[in-house]
Amino acid sequence: MAVLEIRKYPDRILREKTSPVNDFGPSLQRLIDDMIETMYAAPGVGLAANQVGVPKQVMVVDVSTKQQDAPLIVIINPQIVLAEGESASEEGCLSLPDYTTVVKRAERVKVRGLDRHGREIEVEGEGLLARALQHEIDHLNGKLLIDRISRLKREWFKKRYLRQTQQREVVKS
């Protein structure tokens, strides 16, 4: 297993819709294991394959650091089949380091997909799990949390992020 590089905004792959997975062979298993290790090392509660440069519909989620008795979840080709309620809560993203903002999402979701071996699964979540599932599925569809905030907040983010990136480059020189 290996810790992979997490792609940061504005990397183009974060804006691309990912492709469905049809091959559940050793390369997929290795990708899943590497994604899990990368998510824990970051640390984060979820990770989508395009965040590590692979445009495939693969995501991992583990909210056990925030909620008791929550299992590690691996979902291939996920689809939200039910969304209920609404809540607004602060979110961050491994691809947008040092940035958090309040985002409205469904309070409860049901997601269908495949497990790492190609078997059909259904995951129901509420609260943080629902939020994490929706966040990672957004990634797989080429959306970032900044796409869920007002245009004014998004423009402010872009200016601030660009300024911080330029400052980091000056420090590295």
Active site members: 136
Residue keyed to tokens 């899990």: 36
Q: Enumerate the β-bridge partners of residue 111.
A: 80, 123
d(CA 132, CA 123): 12
d(CA 147, CA 114): 27
**Token pair in block for residue 48:** 């989508």
Residue 127, SS3? coil
In Å, the largest CA–CA distance within the chain is 50
| Site of tokens 């958090």 | 100
